[in-house]
Structure 1
Amino acid sequence: MNFAELFQKQRIAGFPERLIEHHKLVSGVAVNLAIALRSLGIVTDPERAGLMGAVHDAGKSVVTEELSIPGSAHEAIGREVALRLGLPESISKICCSHSSDTTDELDTEEIVVRLADKLWKGKRDPDFEKQAVQRFSAELGKEDWEVFMNLDKIFESIAESGYERLEATRA
Structure 2
Amino acid sequence: MNLRNALDAPGYAPLPPRARTLLETLAAPPRLGAHLRVVHDVAVTLTGWAGPRVDFDAPAVLFGAATHDIGKVRHPAELSGAGSEHELAGYSLLLSEGIEEGLARFARTHGSWDVPDAPFEDLLVTLADKVWKGKRVPDLEQQVTERLGGPPWETFLALDDELERIAAGADARLAFQASYPTTG
**Which of 110, 117, 128 is equivalent to 2:140?**
128
Asked whether the 8 Å contact 1:63–1:73 carries over to 2, the reply is: yes
Going from structure 1 to structure 2, the CA distance change for 1:135 and 1:103 (only over 3 Å counts) comes to farther
The more displaced of 113-122 and 8-17 is 8-17
DSSP 3-state at the match of 1:20: helix
Task: Identify which range, 82-91 or 48-57, moves more after superposition.
Answer: 82-91
TM score, norm. by length of structure 2: 0.83
For residue 79 of structure 1, what is the aligned residue in structure 2? 91
Shift of 1:48: 1.6
Deviations along 1:110-159, one digit per CA (max 9) or x if unpaired, are 111100001111111112112221233xxx3x332121011111111111
SS at match of 1:54: helix
Corresponding residue for 2:120?
Answer: 108
Task: Check whether the contact 1:103–1:111 (CA below 8 A) recurs between aligned residues.
Answer: no
Tell me if the contact between 2:32 and 2:72 (Cα under 8 Å) persists in the aligned partners.
yes
1:66 equivalent to 2:78? Answer: yes
1-structure distance, mates of 2:128, 2:170: 11
Aligned to 1:22: 35
What does residue 157 of structure 1 align with? 165
What RMSD over aligned residues (CA atoms) do the two structures have, in Å?
Answer: 1.6
Q: Structure with the greater relative contact order (CA < 8 A, sep ≥ 6): 1 or 2?
A: 2
How far apart are the structure 2 equivalents of 1:170 and 1:58?
17
Contact 2:29/2:73 (8 A) holds in 1 = yes
Partners of 1:20 and 1:81 in 2: how far apart? 16
Shift of 1:85: 3.0
State the match for 2:69 in structure 1.
57
Q: Pick which of 80-89 and 66-75 moved more.
A: 80-89
User: Retained in 1: the 8 A contact 2:91–2:105?
Assistant: yes
Counterpart code for 1:68: S
Hey, what's the Cα distance between the residues in 2 that align with 1:105 and 1:75?
A: 19
**Identity value in percent:** 33
